[in-house]
Amino acid sequence: MSGGVDSSLALRLLAELPLDLSVLFMRNWDPLLSENQDSDSAPSPASSASAAAPAAPYALSYAPAPGHQCEWERDFADVRRVAAHVGVPASRICLVDLSKEYWGRVFEPAVGVWERGGTPNPDVACNREIKFGALFEHLAPNHYLATGHYARVRRSAAGATLHRATDANKDQTYYLSQIREPQLARSVFPLAGLRKPEVRQLAAHFALPTAARAESMGVCFIGERGRFGEFVSQYTADAGPAHLVSPAGEQLAPSRGAWHYTIGQRARLPGMDGRWFVARKNVGAGGEDVLVVPGADHPALLCVELAAPSFHWIAGALPPQLVEQGRMRALVQVRHRMAPVPALVVRGTLTPDADAGGSGVRVVFDTPLAAVAPGQVVGVWDGEQCLGSGEIARTVCADQARSCSIDVLGGDTGTAFIA
């Protein structure tokens, strides 16, 4: 349980069944250990996140926006209130401190991606490494892990598969796309068939203490941040002098560091006419500048192809069609809640020597997709079934590509884009 309404209702629904229930609460981010708002006596921030998780207060000059600090004590108090309301005894409620695992396996790698100019997804990594990774070590044999995720598990003799929930707007299979089949087989998602308004209604019907609690929209276990770029800056090396530059190479404004910007983000340039958008990072002679372009439909913003050198298949193996034919049609997402788009998934990567053990794939979009960033996660679906996902290492946009015909399934002809 997290303390939110979704996991609260999941517990209440399970309490209707003859089950042996225990409640686990994870503390994955402790502000007292990982950040300190007292800057008067603070040493300078670490130059990077390469150190191990701090064992003593880690002084930082960043001050979170008022009201947005993640307060695990409040969350745990809500968990205890809901558990008591449902009838779970206090002896069956356990706080599991996974802050060290979260720091080393989720947050530290994410900071590395930010420093390199990418856009990581800590929520996908958290599910893979923590919720359905480290937490499973605390489960007793033959026990299942139930959560408040909006997703569905189907079980058969061939194993467990992951499918979309009824509520398409809340569906979280994208965030679960890197868990493994053995963990999925021991997972239960009681909210699979419910829509969010129904969850709220049922929570109120059962008088759950968290029925009216606001939904968290921040990074997994870190919470919402008013100035997220400044928060990340406390853990990164000094960016050094850099600029926002035009396609012609003209320096338009100073850059605050690559992690302050996201591909597709509106760039506010004083004195410049029109609407400008962040299109690419790591440009310029030293790779320190950020490319901005005029107009949301600029070719530099439209991704035609991407590469994911290390792709995670939930089943633990490539789909048979990809093995036999080397390519397959699929639905693809690069962000949570985006409408899935059709694409061709091809075995191998844009750079063969970067293919991690033959697990890499290329994704060629039927229609160019705007604002795709390296570091993001690309998920693949066969209809409603989520097959897996991988981190995007490289994108090819319309301004970089030349096209050529390739044979696709059924003898048809498709288009590949080559940088």
Tell me how many degrees the CA angle 355-361-367 measures, rounded to the nearest 5.
Answer: 140
Question: Using CA atoms, how far apart are residues 166 and 129, in angstroms rounded to an integer?
Answer: 26
Among the listed residues 70, 94, 126, 386, the single catalytic one is: 126
126 in catalytic set: yes
404 in catalytic set: no
Rg (CA), the chain: 23
DSSP state of 7: H
Question: Using CA atoms, how far apart are residues 68 and 6, in angstroms rounded to an integer?
Answer: 20
Are residues 4 and 215 in contact, defined by beta-carbon separation less than 8 angstroms? yes
Are residues 62 and 44 in contact, defined by beta-carbon separation less than 8 angstroms? no
| Tokens, residue 98 | 């996974």
Q: Which residues contact residue 113 at a Cβ distance below 8 angstroms, ignoring those fewer than 6 apart?
A: 119, 120, 375
Among the listed residues 70, 220, 303, 397, the single catalytic one is: 220
Question: Using CA atoms, how far apart are residues 50 and 104, in angstroms rounded to an integer?
Answer: 9
Distance (Å) of CA 231 to CA 75, 91, 115, 228, 362: 22, 37, 13, 5, 33
- Residue 102: enclosing H or E segment and its boundaries? helix 99-102
Report which of 243, 239, 145, 154 is spatially closest to residue 193, judged by C-alpha positions: 154
User: Which residue numbers are catalytic?
Assistant: 126, 220
